[in-house]
Amino acid sequence: MKTPMELWSGDKPECDHLRVVGSLAYSHISQDKLDPRAEKCIMLGYPEWVKGYKLWRIGGGKPRVFVSRNVEFQETVFYKNVVSEHCDKFPNPDEGVQSQSSNGNHNMIERRPKRNIIKTLRYRDNSNLSAVAFSAAEEESIYEPMSYDEAMTAPNQEKWYGAMREEMTSLWKNKTWELVKDPISGSDKPRFKARLVAKGFTQKTGVDYTKIFSPAVKHTTIRVILSITAALDLVLEQLDVTTAFLHGYLDEKIYMQQPTGFVEKGKEDQVCLLKRSLYGLKQSPRQWYKRFDQYVVSNGFIKSSYDSCLYFRRCKKGNYMYLLLYVDDMLIACQDKGEIEATKSMLKREFEMKELGEAKKILGMQITRNRELKQLKLCQTDYAKKVLKNYAMEDCKPVKAPFAAHFKLSAEDSPKTDEEAVFMTHVPYANYVWSLMYLMVCTRPDLAYGVSVVSRYLSNPGKAHWEGVKWILRYLKGTADHGLVFGKDVIHGSVQIEGYVDADFAKDLDKCRSITSFVFKCLGSVISWKSHLQSVIALSTTEAEYMSLCEAVKEALWLSRMVRELGMKVITPIVHCDNQGALQLAKNSVFHERTKHIRVKWLFIREEVNHKRIQVIKIDTQQNMADVLTKSLPGVKFDFCKSRMGVA
């Protein structure tokens, strides 16, 4: 039997997009907005003439029906399950989950088909982690309208109108557009046409924009500059660009309807021809960065070859000035206060700036300094306390280790019954992990191993995985005020980049992959760290250690070259490794069939060692601080590693 379509065209109809009506759905939200990852919805059906799914939002916020194409479904969970009384209450973080250490006999049950654990797009790099983490930790206390009409009917309509007036004043001041005759004539003009480019998610590649990539400063780069600032006792000041995206010039011709409520009298039939970028356009961040980059480079700054958001220049007295850009936030560091004032004046001639004085906070990280001791502390105390409060863990019992040795998590711990799956839909597991991940990436290397483990199960977490996350939060409860301390060494001539590397062979219980970890210090302060699963399966401990060593050598070369570019005299970087087999491969011409599949890595490290661009040195396992990033450690060893990393 064939369908009419197949009889007519000879092609079988595609049914992959069909979903169960009434099932639970999660509509993904645009990655460039400070919103949760997805909205909880119920699938209602399919819209006419538009690709996607008709959904009814049932999560936080105002219920509404809308259409979305980027949707994930749980087709075994329905509306009645979501709103049933026994599931309506949010699970207590301290109830309902057996401890991972319990040793009971479990009844045999039929398992659900195992889902593949795929690292989500949002976590393949750290470029958007800040926005995600902040939104995950925020509690929505005020309803935010999505349009002019909603704002004018909201309880705080006067305040919303005042905010709109302030924004419009900024737009007019920057001459963001000019009114022109509508280029689209005729009565058959689509009503939504003029707003297509104002809604960034409706823009078309090649028509409304061509390139949208905009760099963001690396957290490692921020820590490098802070370590230099502390060691040299530099002046560190902060600036903020007012309405930064409005400063970029557009390469495309884009028309937009006049904003509702602010239509100019006598020109109601005209539209706005955008002269500058506007919030919401996909190319706005890129256009702002291009203009800022061109301006500061034309005024004597040099863009770093190793981070596109780091600029520097040599001052008249021979010292250096460093400028870091993160979207619209800037840090400026220099020994000469007068040079900083001159740079701020230069920037104000082109952009509207806010002077924030001595740097106190950047990307949610608090900066405190002791100029007498030449020390600087970078921490996230406020953010950590907010995370604990928002997840009802502010009164939990603290623990002394970030991840206990009894946790043996795997995909087998994912939900095996519909009841457990429904239970876990009420647990904001991903929000927990995002918040912890942001802490780990910025200031808390001691959280790296635990966060690395629990983040593997974002796509299908179970109760055991949730227990692991709660354990990390309990550790955070007792260490919320901990952070990185910079300034333990003072520059007396040369700068030493020193790294520690370790691996744990076949630690992953699902795919037998090994863990790579490394920690790097500059001027006695930790500036870089990593703990993650290796992309290929190692066949021995030596291979796992050698692949970790390769990653560490690449990081050491990048760090040393960047610090040297910033005007520092850098001696040959050192990487400490505790595996004798890996050291022999790095230093000697040892090669046979068992290692031929890692020949490229072997030759790379050998070349760097032979040309004396890197030193690889044996270290005792008990002295290797990278050990804390690959496994759960006993209390004494953990405290030693944490102290060596400067976390206090």
CATH of the domain at 50: 2.30.30
Residues 456, 513, single domain; the answer is no
Task: Check: CB of residue 544 under 8 Å from CB of residue 538.
Answer: yes
Angle at 475 between CA 471 and CA 478, to 5 degrees: 145
Q: What is the mean pLDDT of residues 50-74?
A: 80
Q: Inform me whether the pLDDT recorded for 131 exceeds 90.
A: no
Alpha helices in 144-193 (DSSP H): 148-152, 157-173
C-beta separation of 521 from 558 below 8 A: no
Give percent of the chain above pLDDT 70. 80
Domain of residue 266: give its range: 174-360
Asked whether residue 479 carries a pLDDT value surpassing 80, the answer given is: yes
Query: For residue 410, what are its two tokens?
Result: 């795997």
Q: What are phi and psi of 77, to 5 degrees?
A: -115, 130
Please check whether residue 2 lies inside any domain of the structure. Answer: no
pLDDT at 38: 77
Mean pLDDT confidence for 49-73:
79
What was the pLDDT predicted at 130? 58
In a domain, 598, yes or no: yes
Round to whole Å and give the CA distance between 176 and 168.
10
Residues 580 and 611 in one domain: yes
Rg (alpha carbons) of the chain, rounded to whole number? 28
Which of the two residues, 243 and 197, has the higher pLDDT score? 243
Stretch 397-404: mean pLDDT, rounded? 96
Calpha distance 217→325 (Å, rounded)? 7
Residue 121: pLDDT band with limits 50, 70, 90? very low
Q: What one-character-per-residue DSSP string does 451-494 give?
A: HHHHGGGTTS--HHHHHHHHHHHHHHHHSTT-EEEE-SS--SS-
- pLDDT grade, residue 331 (50/70/90)? very high
User: pLDDT tier at 142 (50, 70, 90 boundaries)?
Assistant: low
Question: Residue 193 CB: number of other CB atoms within 10 A?
Answer: 12
Read off the pLDDT of each residue in 323-346 and give the average, rounded to a whole number. Answer: 96
Tokens, residue 634: 């006993």
Q: Considering the domain boundaries, does residue 629 fall inside one?
A: yes
Residue 100 lies in a domain: no
Closest CA to 369 of 412, 331, 419: 331
What is residue 591's predicted lDDT score, i.e. its pLDDT? Answer: 55
Residue 526 has pLDDT above 60, yes or no: yes
Rounded to whole angstroms, what are the CA distances from 367 to 138, 144, 224, 296? 21, 31, 14, 26
Q: Are residues 303 and 179 both part of a single domain?
A: yes
Report the number of distinct structural domains present in the chain: 4
What average pLDDT score do residues 32-37 get? 52
DSSP 8-state code for residue 557? H
pLDDT of residue 375: 93
Answer yes or no: is pLDDT of 506 > 90.
yes
Where does 13-112 show beta strands of DSSP type E? 23-28, 38-45, 53-57, 65-68, 71-78
- Residue 149 has a CB neighbour count (10 Å cut-off) of 11
Any idea which residue has 């010292």 for tokens?
319
Residue 585: the pLDDT is: 83
Higher per-residue confidence, 276 vs 624 = 624
**504 and 395 both lie in a single domain:** no
Q: Are residues 348 and 459 in the same domain?
A: no
Name the phi and psi angles at 25, rounded to 5. -135, 155
Look at 16-25, 227-236, 361-370, 636-645 and tell me which has the smallest mean pLDDT. 16-25
* CB contact at 8 A, 79 and 42: yes
Which residue bears the tokens 């924009």?
209
Question: What distance in Å separates the CA atoms of residue 546 and residue 502, rounded to the nearest whole number?
Answer: 9
Among 70, 89, 108, the domain-final residue is 89
Between 32 and 588, the higher pLDDT residue: 588
Domain boundary among 22, 56, 89: 89
Residue 209, helix vs strand vs coil: strand
Sheet containing 53-57: order of strands: 65-68, 53-57, 38-45, 23-28, 71-78
- Residue spans of beta strands (DSSP E) within 246-318: 255-256, 270-274, 302-303, 310-314
Residues 337 and 424 in one domain: no
Q: Name residue 434's beta-bridge partners.
A: none
What single-letter DSSP state applies at residue 277? -
Which residues face 486 on adjacent strands? Answer: 376
State the average pLDDT over residues 11-29: 83
User: What is the C-alpha to C-alpha distance for residues 604 and 610, in angstroms, rounded to an integer?
Assistant: 10
- What's the whole-number mean pLDDT along residues 184-205? 44
What phi and psi values does residue 125 have, to the nearest 5 degrees? -150, 180
Higher pLDDT, 177 or 14: 14
* pLDDT averaged over every residue in the chain: 83
Between 154 and 584, residue with greater pLDDT:
584
Average pLDDT over residues 225-248: 93
Q: How confident is the model at residue 187 (pLDDT cuts 50, 70, 90)?
A: very low
**101 part of a folded domain:** no
Is residue 171's pLDDT more than 80?
Answer: no
- Contact indicator for 403, 471 with CB cutoff of 8 Å: yes
Q: How far is CA 354 from CA 326, 401, 415, in A?
A: 15, 42, 51
In the sheet where 375-379 sits, what is the strand order? 361-362, 365-370, 375-379, 483-486
Residue (of 192, 183, 168) closest to 253 by Cα position: 183
- Asked if residue 420 is part of any domain, the answer here is yes
Residue 197 reports pLDDT greater than 60: no
Residues 335 and 187 occupy one common structural domain: yes
Query: Are 445 and 386 found together in one domain?
Result: yes
Coil, helix or strand for 187? Answer: coil
**Per-residue pLDDT for 544 more than 70?**
yes
Contact, 642 vs 446, CB < 8 A?
yes
Q: What mean pLDDT do residues 601-619 have?
A: 91
Q: Are residues 236 and 356 in the same domain?
A: yes
Q: What confidence score (pLDDT) does residue 30 get?
A: 63
Task: Lowest mean pLDDT of 266-280, 428-442, 564-578, name the range.
Answer: 266-280
CATH assignment at residue 501 = 3.30.420.10
Q: Are residues 345 and 386 in the same domain?
A: no
Quote the Cα angle for 480-486-488, to 5°. 125
CA separation, residue 195 to residues 31, 275, 280, 299, 446 (Å) = 21, 16, 11, 38, 48
In this prediction, residue 383 carries a pLDDT of 96
Question: pLDDT for 246-265, tens place per residue?
Answer: 888 888 888 888 888 888 88
In 29-126, at which residue ranges do the beta strands (DSSP E only) sit?
38-45, 53-57, 65-68, 71-78
Measured CA to CA in angstroms, residue 121 lies from 125, 130, 134, 395, 458 at distances of 8, 15, 18, 34, 12
Together in a domain, 390 and 528 = no
Closest CA to 413 of 74, 76, 115: 115
125 contact partners, CB below 8 Å, separation of at least 6: none
Q: Single out the residue in 449, 483, 517 at which a domain terminates.
A: 483
Q: Would you say residue 161 lies in a domain?
A: no
Do the domain assignments include residue 164? no
* Rounded Cα distance, 87 and 508, in Å: 33
The DSSP result for 221-235, as a single string, is HHHHHHHHHHHHT-E
Checking phi first, is residue 502 left (phi over 0); if not, alpha (psi -120 to 50) or beta?
A: beta
Please determine, for residue 79, whether its predicted confidence score (pLDDT) is greater than 80. Answer: no
390 and 294, same domain (yes or no) = no
Which range among 15-19, 54-58, 108-112, 167-171 shows the weakest confidence by mean pLDDT? 108-112
